[in-house]
Amino acid sequence: MGILLVGVQVPPLAPPILRRFLFVMLAITSLAVAGCDGPKQVVTRAIEAASEDGREAFLACFTKESRATLEMLWRERKIPLGRSDARVLEAQPIGQFGYLVQVQDGDGVFPLIVQTRAGVWRIDLLATEATLTDTRAPF
């Protein structure tokens, strides 16, 4: 995780209240940006949530469309989340808003597409399927 440093120049004659306000806003913004998840972190959170059988935390790591797909599968098959020795290997940028995250689970390595929407990283299962099969879903 990187640290973002932002410089703000306050006019020397600015009222003390304005200088204090700008300093507080800068501090809050720096903390918010420093705490943001990246593509690798959201996949790691999903793995941890699955290991703890935390469905809500697990679903929160996916795009809205992916969540609908997962919930449909759970209704049909009642598949439990479970322990896994999965771990994130690397993340490579693809396009302007996405990363290809490699996950190792046992002997296999699986790619996941992670995209950002409005500054929030989420796993996109539909984009992952499209990338793996080189096709686009008709819906």
Give 112's pLDDT tier (boundaries 50, 70, 90). very high
Q: What is the pLDDT of residue 91?
A: 93
pTM of the model: 0.68
Give 45's pLDDT tier (boundaries 50, 70, 90). very high
pLDDT over 90, % of the chain: 37
pLDDT in tens, 1-44: 444 444 445 455 556 665 555 554 544 443 333 345 799 999 99
Contact 125, 71 (CB under 8 A): no
pLDDT in tens, 113-129: 999 988 899 999 999 98
Backbone angles phi, psi at 4, to 5 degrees: -100, 120
Q: What is the pLDDT of residue 35?
A: 41
Length of the chain (residues): 139
SS3 124: coil
Would you say domain 39-133 falls under CATH 3.10.450.50? yes
Query: What whole-number distance in Å separates Cα of residue 98 and Cα of residue 86?
Result: 21
pLDDT over 70, % of the chain: 66
